[in-house]
Structure 1
């Protein structure tokens, strides 16, 4: 099954028009024609099975034949991660985390961040593509970048963790995760969180954890955290 994405389609729509760019891709590139089936999602849990009724390169129209709703997971994964110096490394994380099943991502600007500015436009396209490729019905939410202190001080529901490398008391992350809950974890930049940042997290009830015995790159640590939460919930 090839999956398309459009945020504008609604669960009660009987038909739908693709814009010019998507229509051209469907008709000219994919060579879809009238009566061909199209599967698409709005990223909110709905899968639409449809049929092309007008194969126009400028305005492809489909008729909705069936609508299925996929229930969301009982847990929520929120990774707050410092943007990496090399943008392609964070983009790799975005793609793979979407395939695994992440729900929410927040870029955080830390004391040791080498990238202080991060634009989410390209990130949104990457997660859309990964969602379609992995046949998922929910589009991960990417929040605007925020300073570390602002993020840590705000009200956050569920479990809260900080994964850092300082040789202080830390718990094994996989042992602390409670199934069927919202989990938020902070992942720092290449130079790790500063001592001041770690102290601030602890003051705001974040639990210090380790992700293993080896030192991980930012994007690897973020992906390991995401996968660990999924596995913990799969085994519950």
Structure 2
């Protein structure tokens, strides 16, 4: 069964109408009709079982018949990643990170960033689609892009890591640093890596240097390895 999304649903909702675009997709593309069952999430942990009561092409209406809640993960993973030069690669990261398990994503603009303009609404749509595709009930939070130095000033908690390629800094593999059931924030730099000044700034703000392995990875690959490592430690 396909999962649909509507952020306005609450446990007290009894019925609602999909917008024009979603209604057309449900009725015309998926060929659903009155009496068919749909499953919807509000991205806040709730699943809603619904029955189509009006199969209008522009205002598909459903009645909620059951609500169930999903217990959130015991950990919180915040990926702070520099956008890649091409949109496609960064969107691929967002999609796969959502499928694997990420709670929050912040695009950061660094000294060596080649792309400094990010269409945040597009990124949110990619994450939303990945959430539905992987049948999850929690929508990852996508923050507005922020300068690296400004991000470091923001309050943070839990385990703080920065992944970089500098060889004259002692680093442990991420899997040896992550602990179960802890909030984790991981910084991933752009294609040209973090600058030496940024690495020093991160260290001054409590970020421990980590490695993703012996091989040098692309930004989006490093991000996926980080997500998978944290998920493995917490779910293993």
TM-score by length of 1: 0.98
In 2, distance between residues paired with 1:93 and 1:179?
23
Find out whether 1:73 has 2:73 as its counterpart: yes
Unpaired runs of 5+ in structure 1? Answer: none
Task: State the Cα deviation string for residues 100-156 of structure 1 (Å, max 9, x = none).
Answer: 111110000000000011121111111111111110001111000000001112210
Q: For 1:191 and 1:28, locate their aligned partners in 2 and report how far apart those are by CA, in whole Å.
A: 46
Q: CA RMSD in A?
A: 0.7
5 Å-filtered alignment, 1:179-194, equals 179-194=180-195
Structure 2 counterpart SS, 1:78? strand
Which blocks of at least 5 consecutive residues in structure 2 are unaligned? none
Q: Secondary structure at the match of 2:232?
A: helix
Name the counterpart of 2:230. 229
Q: Structure 2: how far apart are the matches of 1:177 and 1:204?
A: 18
Which runs of structure 1 show a deviation greater than 3 angstroms over 4 or more consecutive aligned residues?
none
1:14, distance to aligned residue in structure 2 (A): 0.9
Q: Distance in 1 between matches of 2:228 and 2:152?
A: 23
Cα distance, 1:81 vs structure 2: 0.3
1:136-215 pair list within 5 angstroms: 136-167=136-167, 168-215=169-216
Give the alignment of 1:120-139 within 5 angstroms.
120-139=120-139
CA distance in 2, matches of 1:186, 1:58: 43
1:26 aligns with 2:23: no
The residue that corresponds to 1:60 in the other structure is 60
